[in-house]
Structure 1
Amino acid sequence: MGKSSDPWERRDAERARFRKKQGEPLDLFDELQRSQRPLGLLICLAVLLAAEIPLISSIVRLFLSVGAVVGLLLLLASCRDYAEPFQRYVRRGPTVAWAVCLLWGGVSFFLAPDRTVALGEGIRLLAGAGAYLVTSYALRERRELGLALGGILAIACGIALYDIAHFAQKIGFTNHFTADNISILGTHESIGSLLALLLPLALGLGLSGALPDWARLAAQAVVLILGFAWIMTRCRSAWLGGSIGLLLIGYLFWRYPPLSKKKEHRGAHSWRQKITSPIVIVIGALVVMALVGGLAPLLSNRVTGLVNLLEDGSLGIRMIMWSGGLRMLSLKPLFGWGLGSYLLLQGRWTNLGDGPEQVTLNGTGHQNIAHNYYVQWAAETGVVGLFLLLFSVFVLLFSGWRALARVRDPGERTLLIACLAALSGGLVEVNGSPAFQFCGVWAVFWSLAGVLMGVIRQTGEDPLPHRARFGYGIVALAAALICGGAVWLGKLLWDPRGQPRGVFQIMERTHGPYYPGETVRWRALYRNGWGKEQGSHPATTWVTPVWFEQGGSRVPRPVKSQEWALWREEFNASDLLRGFSELSLRLPPGETGMLQVQAGFEDEFGRTYSASRVVDVVEAPPAKKKPTAKLQPH
């Protein structure tokens, strides 16, 4: 036979000459070659998570995110063969809905008010797309899927161990424990979302009898590490999402037990086996670690706030953020305001966080995020984008649930149950968390979604079975009802009827008389119709101050001074997201007259207010001569 003309086939034939026979010791280099696709995926995910570390400069984090996205796309392009033909792959229900949702995100990019902010959101969407395509389309075998899951858990363990060590060494049991110093990823919400997503996954692997003993024991150790860090985060949305995932793990293991063939015909477990079962050991260890690890006094306030939700200040702030996003949706219900628009414009409806100028120049943080991914995505992409997102994730979960009854292999059923529970908990958790706005957690979520698709593919069912079309219709109806309810609620919140108008005014922060060359400072104040004072930043718009000359022309002219600036002063120590808008101006030397400053304000219902203030600038009195000190003789 002549040599093949295909260079890929020649390369495989050459490697086969040196491949070790069955039973011979494993070659580490050969194993790395076989696992190059999952290892490349894990490297890219680790880089994306590193891009969330606030200790790294913003420009370096941007390069890390872009580099990881490019790496995922190159990894996908470098694959010689994929898990299945492309035509069959794109016909699968979850993939079709996901692809259309991604394309609509690209359309929203061109509708964005600021392309720079939208570019950051576009990079995040591409990170999730690359992770999903690699896991669902490039990883062919169950071994590769399992290696990808194990690597993701190993990365999470490294982050959790660092945070636990930081808690023990830097914070201690007696010092103040705040949300800003809890994790290497930043606040408690970022790490809490990651742990809430992966803890059910690790528990599902640790409870399965289909895995080897060493793998099951390693997974149980991972549960202890992630579980302790999960409790330590004190993030209530992460507690809720993780608890949903853990409860779903218990139900699915009871309903579809992934037992190995050796254990399928055993009788009922004895009471000793129940006491020593992995789930009892794991729960008991977590309770002991929480009690003796110094977490009990730290958790008491968070648990109290979780019970008394109406008295929780953070819930009130989130309600303002959510209502602002729904009002944005009600004003542009079909297409939304464009990708990244919530970060820029939310202050017009919430009076929280930073204004558009500050976001454009310096960026922003959690204060300009809606802390509800569905609300923020709806405000930016409209009803069309919200429907596509909900339909894609609902179809994904629906397909995974249908596959449970068809999967017979215990290992595949374990992966399916673990991914279903993890994804369900993550989707619940982001109702009160900003985690999906960051590339790392977003890419991890879609990596698990891709693993779920890979396991569904192993069932061999037709991509679009006729008997599943009724279920797809129910899923689409549920997504449509949620979208309609969001628009209706936004219209209800936007209705100003029954809400009295507030009062807007400008107050001087400095006291006169004012002389040329001095600095004058004003503050914008707003009280709603019920007399409650609210923050005035960033909804206040200041007008350039003008002069009215005394004894001359009454035509105003702009002040010829470049030394003026806008300030944001904190509302109070317990509400750092609100702030007063202030203006400071250094009076030009040698000019006197009347100085007028004016500002406009827009409340949460779109009603406009205006206020002005006039001060007199007079000539400075002659400086008094200081008496000279007389020299005294020694």
Structure 2
Amino acid sequence: MGKKKRAASEAPPPAVEAPPSWEGWGLTALWAAAFFGLALVGDQKVLRYKLLTAEAFAAAGLAWVFVSWAARAPALWRRTALDLPVTLYALGGLAYYAVAPEHGAAQGEFNRVLFSAAAFFAASQTAARLPRPELAVGAWALSGAALGLYALLQTRGGLGPLLIPQLDRPIATFGNPIFLAAFLAASACAALGLAGADARRRGLWSAVAALALAGAWTTQTRAAFAALAAVAGMWALMTLEGRRRWTALGTLALAGLGAAWFFRGRQWTHGLIWRDTLSLWLAHPWFGCGLGRFHLEFPAHASPALRALWPESKVIVNFAHNEYLQVLAETGVVGLALLAGVVGGWFRLARECAARAELPRRALLGGVLAAAGVLLVQNAASPDIRFGVSSFVVFWSLGFAAGLGWGSDVPVLLFPGRFAFAGAGLLALTLWGGMAVEPLLAQRRLFAQPSFHVEGGTEFDRAVAELEGRLKASPGDADVAENLAYLYAKASRWPEATRYFELTARLAPTRPGPFNNLGNIAYSTGDRDGAIRWWGRSLEVGPEQVDARVNLGKTLYEMGRLKESAKNLEEVLRRDPDNEKAQVLLKKMVE
């Protein structure tokens, strides 16, 4: 039989233009810079420069993809088995944010969920374009080795003339030993994958892995090594047989017993937090208490035993120290199912990687998947994925492995077309970027505000004398009394300021300002309860006020009354969406 002729109406398949070689090397440089940036950029509370670095590189990777769609036809989407679970995870975050009673409390976690999806798709869409994917993973492994060396030096206070601040539990550039350990454990897995993939440089990459692991050990983070052992055991079960399997498992068991003995003196309170987190979940089993609201709702469910260890007025329990329990408490069974879909996708890829000895780049893919697996397992006893850099590592690893090892290119939909999709993608990145940098911008605006207080002097004495003279001539003039009180307050002359603000309140009882300022003075002199009473009176007179409500929210936050604080700060943002103080305080609650 002859070949069937193509129907006249059937268009030929579009010709696929190979991307220019410089594009692949440019993407390689992008991801290498991303990992070196994560190692070098220091972390700081609220400002979170390290997180912003990771977000910037994830956004740059996606922007590169969108621009390439507009520049070259046909626009191709790298389809993977994890696209649907990650998309549902992101859409779930969007839905929970949309129905959140207080968007300020939910915004941080919503941003992290979107960032996780961005990191995944940036990696999945670019991994196959890299001419040598090993270089990007190598940059990651080397950055982990550098951090491991830095951690070792921190335990000694430096080496020779090189002086470094000495710490019992190093933090390197991460600000927290737990998050540093998570990155180092994942980096060691990436290095071991390279050792398996490159026989000529096996010694180099093994040394890189050893350095990362040595640095992780100095952090004394139990969850990191428990996760490493769990993933190693899983890999042994899936790839080894007979005596080799039992030897590997026995070695891991002995190492686990040794680690348990080494850490035997460390206090462990996670069990109390987990039990009380389950109590919080049972109060909202299906949809949870709300995205990002754990730290607000948990105190009401904290047991007396936990309160005795960590009093509410001194310690904020802002994490469940188990990501899966925290997701369950905040978003219920539905939210946990969305996260479980991502974890299940990782497990399917890991199982297939272990089962297929002929899989191209199997060792490299196995190392990257192991890195993601270590963090996913560590989340069972640690809040790692709540730290944006850990989220980046997990989802970038999943996207990289899925796109490189199992992805296939398909054209994007002809309608509305590649230009429309590229434009929509860039617009979405712009909106997300604005939300991501808002806490940093708010903090900078707050720092730039001039100081309220002034020094006394000749001009101050002259102004006081003039106002006191005017008040003596007109004892019922509330404006003069308030100006005089304000002047004394600027000079931190609290008794005089209090006397004249109280006079103003008697002369003009419908003015909210004097009550607010009396609250400010009470706060400045250490009387928080008195300050709360004055601010309450101020808000009774003028409920529309912003300053008094910000002050009230700040003080309630400092007293550990987070739910009341957040309620007032959310009301501030409803009236003044750009209020820097409210934005920063809501961010600090989960730092």
Is the contact made by 2:375 and 2:385 (CA closer than 8 Å) also made in structure 1? no
Which residue matches 2:334?
A: 384
Offset at residue 197 of structure 1 (A): 2.1
Code of the residue aligned with 2:30 in structure 1: it is G
Which residue matches 1:264?
A: none
In 1, Cα distance between the equivalents of 2:126 and 2:275?
41
Residues 225-272 of structure 1 show CA distances to partners (whole Å, capped at 9, x for unaligned) of 11211211111111111222334455555459xxxxxxxxxxx9xxxx
Which residue matches 1:263?
A: none
Which residue matches 1:211?
A: 198
Residues 416-440 of structure 1 show CA distances to partners (whole Å, capped at 9, x for unaligned) of 3323433332222111112111111
Aligned with residue 127 of structure 1, among 115, 123, 134: 115
- Identify which of structures 1 and 2 has the higher relative contact order when contacts are C-alpha pairs closer than 8 Å and 6+ apart: 2
Offset at residue 127 of structure 1 (A): 2.4
Is the contact made by 1:366 and 1:434 (CA closer than 8 Å) also made in structure 2? no
Matches within 5 A, 1:463-612: 561-562=518-519, 563-565=521-523, 583=529
Offset at residue 381 of structure 1 (A): 1.5
In 2, Cα distance between the equivalents of 1:176 and 1:415?
36
In 2, Cα distance between the equivalents of 1:52 and 1:439?
14
Of the two, which has the highest radius of gyration?
1
In 1, Cα distance between the equivalents of 2:349 and 2:117?
19
Aligned with residue 373 of structure 2, among 411, 415, 424: 424
In 1, Cα distance between the equivalents of 2:229 and 2:385?
19
User: 2:107 aligned with 1:157, yes or no?
Assistant: no
User: 2:256 aligned with 1:326, yes or no?
Assistant: no
Q: Are the structure 2 counterparts of residues 156 and 84 from structure 1 closer, same or farther at C-alpha, using a change threshold of 3 Å?
A: farther
Which residue matches 1:196?
A: 185
Which residue matches 2:413?
A: none
Which residue matches 1:183?
A: 172
Aligned with residue 148 of structure 1, among 129, 133, 136: 136
Residues 382-422 of structure 1 show CA distances to partners (whole Å, capped at 9, x for unaligned) of 1101011112211331233135434514x522123323433
Which residue matches 1:76?
A: 65
Which residue matches 1:293?
A: none
Q: Are the structure 2 counterparts of residues 69 and 142 from structure 1 closer, same or farther at C-alpha, using a change threshold of 3 Å?
A: closer
In 2, Cα distance between the equivalents of 1:52 and 1:144?
29
- For structure 1, which runs of at least 5 residues remain unmatched after alignment? 1-5, 16-29, 257-267, 269-278, 288-299, 359-363, 461-515, 518-557, 569-580, 589-598, 604-634
- For structure 2, which runs of at least 5 residues remain unmatched after alignment? 1-13, 410-493, 496-514, 535-555, 562-591
Matches within 5 A, 1:309-388: 312-313=266-267, 315-316=268-269, 318-350=270-302, 351=307, 367-388=317-338
Offset at residue 177 of structure 1 (A): 4.4
Is the contact made by 2:148 and 2:213 (CA closer than 8 Å) also made in structure 1? no
Matches within 5 A, 1:607-618: none
Which residue matches 2:224?
A: 238
Relative to structure 2, which stretch is displaced further, 141-150 or 228-237? Answer: 141-150
Residues 351-375 of structure 1 show CA distances to partners (whole Å, capped at 9, x for unaligned) of 58797xx9xxxxx998412211111
Offset at residue 325 of structure 1 (A): 2.5
Count of residue correspondences: 402
Code of the residue aligned with 1:413 in structure 2: it is R
Q: Are the structure 2 counterparts of residues 78 and 560 from structure 1 closer, same or farther at C-alpha, using a change threshold of 3 Å?
A: closer
Matches within 5 A, 1:287-298: none
Q: Are the structure 2 counterparts of residues 389 and 458 from structure 1 closer, same or farther at C-alpha, using a change threshold of 3 Å?
A: closer
Is the contact made by 2:281 and 2:328 (CA closer than 8 Å) also made in structure 1? yes
In 2, Cα distance between the equivalents of 1:353 and 1:67?
37
Offset at residue 84 of structure 1 (A): 10
Which residue matches 2:388?
A: 439
RMSD: 4.7
Aligned with residue 33 of structure 2, among 20, 24, 43: 43
Offset at residue 445 of structure 1 (A): 1.2
Instruction: Give 3-state SS (helix, strand or coil) of 1:139's partner.
Output: helix
Which residue matches 2:401?
A: 452
Residues 183-203 of structure 1 show CA distances to partners (whole Å, capped at 9, x for unaligned) of 321221111111222323322
In 2, Cα distance between the equivalents of 1:587 and 1:458?
62
In 1, Cα distance between the equivalents of 2:103 and 2:184?
32
TM-score by length of structure 1 reads 0.54
Q: Are the structure 2 counterparts of residues 405 and 145 from structure 1 closer, same or farther at C-alpha, using a change threshold of 3 Å?
A: same
TM-score by length of structure 2 reads 0.57
In 2, Cα distance between the equivalents of 1:128 and 1:51?
20
Is the contact made by 2:24 and 2:129 (CA closer than 8 Å) also made in structure 1? no
User: 2:386 aligned with 1:400, yes or no?
Assistant: no
In 2, Cα distance between the equivalents of 1:220 and 1:366?
41
Q: Are the structure 2 counterparts of residues 36 and 50 from structure 1 closer, same or farther at C-alpha, using a change threshold of 3 Å?
A: same
Which residue matches 1:509?
A: none
Is the contact made by 2:54 and 2:392 (CA closer than 8 Å) also made in structure 1? no
The structure that is helix-richer by fraction is: 2
Q: Are the structure 2 counterparts of residues 338 and 65 from structure 1 closer, same or farther at C-alpha, using a change threshold of 3 Å?
A: farther
Aligned with residue 89 of structure 2, among 101, 111, 133: 101
